[in-house]
Amino acid sequence: MEKTRQEYIQALQAVQDKVTAMGKLAHEAVTKSVRALLNGDTTLANEVMREDDRIDDMIVDIEDDCILLIAKQQPIAHDLRVIATGFKISTDIERIGDHAFDIAKTVQEVLVPLDNKRMQCVRELAECAIKMVGQSMKAYHEKDVQLADDVRKMDVEMDKIFEKTFYALSDFVTDEASRQKRVTQLLFIARFLERIGDHAVNIAEWVIYLETAERIHHKKHLV
């Protein structure tokens, strides 16, 4: 019986370890996709796109592990929350990876250079998104409720930067009609970065639920 219990505890930890590893991959993907965008590095963008399959494979593996644990162990209380948050957080991580892929895919098509003002807005938005993902996964790995709550509060700053970026890019379109396609693509990228931040907030809220059993609802609609 003791051996079975120990194996069960190890299986729960294995789920958390896989979610952490998946989050690290997604964080790296966002970081690389942004670097590719800012530097016009199509080689790095292609690398991000190729590596997206690894993230997709990991969510399937995590889901299978969670289903097996539920079927075999019928977990309750905190153990059940470990499994439930494994499901939920891995889904948010997969979406983050998808948005990193979308940013990388756009790099090959972005041709017209931005001026320093607009580029700085995009950079600030990207830095905020990257930080939120990194901090939310650190909170999960370290079971840090305070850090998770800090990530939630960062969402206000993210929304302010997104609004500033949106208007700066919109003005850039009106300055010269030929820039329309380029700026439209960058507006999509800004939206992807904002959604990455939203998914990071979701992760943070699942961390709070995991450790406290308190449900906090993030009201934004995510894709």
pLDDT tens digits, 68-113: 999 999 899 999 999 999 999 999 999 999 999 999 999 877 655 6
Is residue 20 one of the residues assigned to a domain? Answer: yes
Chain-wide mean pLDDT for the chain? 90
Model confidence pLDDT, tens digit, residues 111-167: 556 667 778 889 999 999 999 999 999 999 999 999 999 999 999 999 999 999 998
Using pLDDT thresholds of 50, 70 and 90, give the confidence band for residue 5.
confident
11-22 mean pLDDT: 97
Question: Rounded to whole angstroms, how far apart are CA atoms 207 and 215?
Answer: 10
The verdict on residue 57 lying in a domain is: yes
Distance CA 123, CA 38 (A): 8
Closest CA to 99 of 25, 193, 181, 32: 193
Residue 223 maps to a domain: no
C-beta separation of 86 from 19 below 8 A? yes
| Total count of domains within the chain | 1
Burial of 167 (0-12, 13-18, 19+ CB in 10 A): exposed
- CATH number for 94: 1.20.58.220
Q: Which among 179, 184, 187 has a CA at the least distance from the CA of 163?
A: 187
Per-residue confidence band for 40, with pLDDT thresholds at 50, 70 and 90: confident
pLDDT band for 202, please (50, 70, 90 cuts): very high
Q: What Rg value do the Cα atoms of the chain yield, rounded?
A: 19
Q: How far apart are CA 163 and CA 190, in angstroms?
A: 10
222 domain residue, yes or no: no
Higher pLDDT pick, 27 / 6: 27
Q: What is the pLDDT of residue 174?
A: 59
The residue range of the domain holding 51 is 2-212
pLDDT at 221: 47
Q: Work out the pLDDT band at 183, boundaries 50, 70, 90.
A: confident
Q: Is residue 190 part of a domain?
A: yes
Separation between Cα atoms, residue 27 and residue 100, nearest integer Å: 9
Task: Tell me, yes or no, whether 96 lies in a domain.
Answer: yes
Per mean pLDDT, which range of 5-9, 114-118, 216-220 is the poorest? 216-220
Place of tokens 């190729």: 50
Average pLDDT over residues 51-74: 95
In this prediction the pTM is: 0.92
Answer whether residue 221 is part of any domain: no
In a domain, 218, yes or no: no
